[in-house]
Chains A and B, each alone.
Chain A
Amino acid sequence: MSRDDLKATFFAECEDLLEQLSEGSQAMIAGTASEDTVHAIFRAVHSIKGAAGAFGLENLVTFAHCFETVLDLVRSGDLVPDTDALHTILRSGDMLADLVELAQSDSDEIPEAMPAILDKLNELAGIEPGLEAGAGGEETEEFFGFQPVVFDLMDEAGDPDESCFRIRLSASSDLFRNGHDPVLLFSELATLGRVETRCDLSALPVGAAFDPERCYLNWEITLHGQATETAVRDVFMFLEDLCEIEDITAQAAGDIAVAGTEEEADHAVQDDVSIAEAAPAAAGIAPMRTPSRFTPMVADETPAPIELALAAEAGLAPAELADRPKGPAKAAAQVPQTTLRVDPERVDRLINTVGELIINQAVIAQKLLETGLATNSDIMSDLDDYQYLARELQEGVMAIRAQPVKPLFQRMQRIVREAADSLGKEVALVTEGEGTEIDKTLVERLAEPLTHMIRNAVDHGIESPEKRMAVGKPALGTIRLSAAHRSGDVLIEIADDGAGLNRKRILEIAVSKGLVPSDAKLSEPEIDNLLFMAGFSTAEKVTNLSGRGVGMDVVKTAITSLGGKVTISSRPGEGTQFAISLPLTLAVMDGMVIHAAGQTLVAPLSSVLETIRPRAQDVVPYGREGQLLSIRGTYVPIVHLGNLLGFTSGAPITSDNILILIRSEHSGQVALAVDEISDQRQVVVKSLEGNYGAIAGISAATILGDGRIALIIDTDATLNLAGDLGRDLTLIEETQHAQTAAMG
């Protein structure tokens, strides 16, 4: 594994850790945090710091270190965080995420807000602000390190080459069941140097709760010798999750010097090893002995003094002990969470192959039918099985790509926080349906539009606290972000409890920007939808947040490109709701198989409104060559698909043509004239860009049952090709020019 690979793994892990961090700090704010939550946050920050150190990411290490110090105080109970402190913790999490991002882009830049947050952290940690400024990670270790005493006796210590490791092995309850034997581990470790083992019995349950096949023991092992860390880690290779290995060479050198002679240390070692060897055996005997030795009442307290004594000897802080009895429980909770990290490319390849399998199945089915076999013949029923299995396989593979929306939603928490802060508003984001799974690509591509919509909700939706109070609402505004599966689609809703859309103002703006005629009579939903028009931005002054010139039209375009729809509804005084509905996956879509100019094409079903076989009187000529379809009192331009794509030129639209009414996001409705509609089916989407390139008007390709390729038309781009056909009918002439231009 190269360094770059390692780094990539590091960043991938950081993502998970940051997610845990953000989730945990949310829980702390919400007051639902348990002790474990704080530990989880601490561990996340600690892991990031550790790995960042290995890659020499100093900014990250410095910051993570301060953060960790505060979290350590919190988890030890020395610091009971008030709202302000919790706020700082949240901020720090955000900052850490920023730093990781900066590190990922190889930037050494220090974010503007970092010194302020560092000062706050130091304040919480009881350090004078400014003291930390400029101090490197190593120096601060002495101030904040939670090893309480660091003896600076290196010079007097014996062999300078001698290394020392502290290994904490928190046994999993399944340790024995999985075939591990601590004694073997210890004896292997003993080949690396002198071993000191201490066994922590505090987790031993009493009475009926005791399961003789489970391991309740935790060990703390100190290894003196010339071993390298890798060698030590190798010993615990299969128990990586259960043990914590720490290089305490410097510290130990001091300890030994304090302890006095080497011989004394040796004695201690021998004693402890024998205890360790006895330990598993002791565990086996325990059920018989415990009832007589302990009563349930005192069982919890009994081990404590012993442990404290042990701890004092080992130089451990009481704070650290506090969480140790939880060791087995935590380990047990972590074990079932085994996940697999797979290169997405491999999954994509698998999905492709499965797609092929399905096409291949269709090809075979078609060929068999052509041979005139009876549909009830054996082979046909086998083929049905084949089809069934192939579908099953496809669903399974698709599920690999599916990801819960949780990380995406969690990112939105931060967006809300930042937006609310900079606008002086109080907003809470409530999320629902975080477990809803959607295609990974969708999760990624949804991030930007969602961010924008959330920002909009905070900026335009939620009123200022004063305004809210004035109308009798709580000062704290709420934005609800929810996800759910609904009839094969994913529905994501963003609802705020703000003032609702100011329709009068929207209409005014639209009129002043010339988006609608001043005498237009628009229904309420029509006005709401003006928000999605290009060139519309309601921000009265350009704010840092939503007035970046990126309007809701961009959001709509992004959602549409994912095959989704976005709708808006609003009630004055009660709030605004945006609903995004998306297909579950991008790899398969519903399409209508059509023929035009001798070519087979697929139109995405999501943009087809209806198909029409027009009566002669419904098609009216318009301009030199243009034609309009009269439908329910409105006129819709007709475009010959073959001409538009350049397969034919100047082919006339005849009464034999079937019209497909499609909706375009920008230009209203257009009727595409095609020769025939042959089928409506699910198609596997194949990119054209891999081996060829982008083609205007074509979004991708698919493979039909006969093995031939059919192109999937990109309805929006198709219409752009034809020019802006929508509302202004006089544009038909220009359309013809655009067509000619496109063909030339």
Chain B
Amino acid sequence: MPKPQQWAEDDVLEFVTLKAGGQSFCIEITQIREIRRWSPVTALPQAEQAVLGVMNLRGAVIPIVDLAARLGLGECDASPRHVIMVVAVGTKTVGLLVDSVSEILTVNGEQICEAPTMGRGDVPSSILGLISVEEGMSRILSPGVLLPRGIMEAA
């Protein structure tokens, strides 16, 4: 299977895996700022459904995105058992609501497979690649998909 462009074969990469909407995803560790417990957010008017609202992160106002909803995997019913991953995308900081965070994967570039095209030839733009893990595989999330819609163009 061809390899995605952005990683060289001999790169050693670390990913944090997480579960959202019942599927396993991962995000490169360098993008992750912190992981914190879910706490109630302040809703925003005129926001897309996946944007739950904004949260106070030590004085910064950051939007919280329901990752499962964002990926079309159904809305997550947030509870204190859910986790918020604070990630940096470009100059912005965004919180992702996920079911749980699992582990840190250390892989070589060559272990990353390109996301397969879905029949018609288009690659899902939200997935950069796949990594095989013991219990199946984890999907590498593209940074762009993490941002709330509307600021995607600007970012």
A711 is an interface residue with CB less than 8 A from chain B: yes
Residues B36-76 near A (CB distance < 8 A): 40-47, 53-56, 58-63
> Measured between C-beta atoms, what is the minimum distance from A685 to chain B in Å?
10
The answer on a CB contact under 8 Å between A690 and B43 is: no
CB of A709 within 8 A of CB of B55, answer yes
Give the shortest distance, in Å, between A329 (CB) and chain B (any CB): 49
A711–B56 contact, CB under 8 A?
no
Q: Is the CB of A686 within 8 A of B40?
A: no
B102 to chain A, nearest CB (A): 26
A695-B46, A711-B54 known; 17 new pairs, CB 8 Å cut-off, are A356-B59, A646-B46, A686-B59, A688-B61, A690-B92, A691-B63, A692-B62, A692-B151, A693-B148, A693-B154, A695-B44, A703-B59, A709-B61, A710-B42, A711-B44, A711-B45, A742-B46
Q: Contacts A695-B46, A698-B44, A701-B42 given: A356-B58 contact, CB under 8 Å?
A: yes
A709 CA to B63 CA in the complex, in Å?
A: 11
Determine whether the beta carbon of A647 is less than 8 Å from that of B151: no
Docked-complex contact B40 and A690, CB < 8 angstroms: no
Q: What are the residues of chain A within 8 A of B54 when measuring CB–CB?
A: 688, 692, 701, 709, 711
B side interface size, CB within 8 A: 25
Q: Is B92 a contact partner of A691 (Cβ separation < 8 A)? A: yes
A701 touching B61 in the complex, CB below 8 Å, given contacts A690-B92, A692-B151, A711-B42 = yes
- Of B61, B62, B93, B150, most buried by chain A (CB within 10 Å of CB) is B61
- Chain A residues numbered 344-364 whose CB sits less than 8 Å from any CB in chain B: 352-353, 355-356, 359
Q: Does B94 contact A (CB under 8 A)?
A: yes
A707 to B41, CA, bound (A): 10
Within 8 A of B (CB), among A611-657: 645-647
What distance in Å separates the Cβ of B96 from its nearest Cβ neighbour in chain A? 13
Question: B58 contacts which chain A residues (CB < 8 A)?
Answer: 356
A696 beta carbon closer than 8 Å to chain B? yes
Residue on A nearest B63 in the bound complex, by CB = A692
Q: Does any Cβ of B come within 8 Å of A687's Cβ? A: yes
Most buried by A among B45, B53, B54: B45
Query: In the complex, A656 Cα to B22 Cα: how many Å?
Result: 44
Q: Is A600 an interface residue (CB 8 A)?
A: yes
CB-CB < 8 A to A646: which residues of B?
Answer: 45-46
Query: How far is the CB of B63 from the nearest CB of chain A, in Å?
Result: 4
Spell out B's residues near A (CB within 8 Å). 40-47, 53-56, 58-63, 92-94, 148, 150-151, 154
With A693-B151, A707-B56 as given contacts, are A687 and B61 in contact (CB-CB < 8 Å)?
yes
For residue A599, CB closer than 8 A to chain B, the reply is: yes
State A352–B59 Cα separation when bound (angstroms).
Answer: 7
Q: Which of A568-606 contact B (CB under 8 A)?
A: 599-600
CA distance A701 to B43 in the complex (A): 11
Is the beta-carbon distance between A686 and B150 smaller than 8 angstroms? no
* Contact between chains at A691 and B42 (CB < 8 Å): no
Query: Does A477 make an interface contact (CB < 8 A)?
Result: no
Chain B residues with CB under 8 Å of A407's CB are none
Does A24 interact with chain B (Cβ within 8 Å)? no
Cα distance, A356 to B42, chains bound together (Å): 18
Q: Does A461 contact B (CB under 8 A)?
A: no
- In contact, A703 and B56 (Cβ under 8 angstroms): yes
Given A599-B42, A599-B43, A709-B54, the answer on whether A693 and B150 have CB atoms closer than 8 Å is yes
Contacts of A355 in B (CB 8 A): 59
Residues of B within 8 A of A600 (CB): 42
Question: Can you list 24 contacts pairing A with B, beta carbon distance less than 8 Å?
Answer: A359-B59, A599-B43, A686-B59, A690-B60, A690-B61, A691-B60, A691-B61, A691-B62, A691-B63, A691-B92, A691-B94, A692-B63, A693-B154, A695-B44, A695-B45, A696-B45, A697-B45, A701-B42, A701-B54, A703-B56, A703-B61, A707-B56, A711-B42, A711-B44
Closest to A706 in B: B56
Q: Is the CB of A267 closer than 8 A to any CB of chain B?
A: no
CB distance from A261 to the nearest CB of B (A): 68
Our pick among A356, A647, A708, A709 for the contact of B45 (Cβ within 8 Å) is A647
CA distance A600 to B45 in the complex (A): 12
Complex Cα distance A708/B41, Å? 7
Asked if A692 and B61 make an inter-chain contact with CB atoms under 8 angstroms apart, the answer reads: yes
Question: What's the Cα separation between A431 and B59 when bound, in Å?
Answer: 40
User: Does the CB pair B42–A698 fall under 8 Å?
Assistant: no
A708 to B62, CA, bound (A): 12
Q: Residue on B with the closest CB to A697?
A: B45
Instruction: Give A600's nearest chain B residue, CB to CB.
Output: B42
Tell me how far the C-beta of A674 lies from the nearest C-beta in chain B, rounded to whole angstroms.
Answer: 14
Query: CA of A151 to CA of B45 in the docked complex: distance in angstroms?
Result: 77
A743 to B54 CA separation, bound complex (whole angstroms): 19
Complex CA distance for A356 and B56, rounded to whole angstroms: 10
Contacts A686-B59, A701-B54: A692 and B148 contacting too (C-beta < 8 A)? yes
User: What residues on B are CB-neighbors of A690 within 8 Å?
Assistant: 60-61, 92
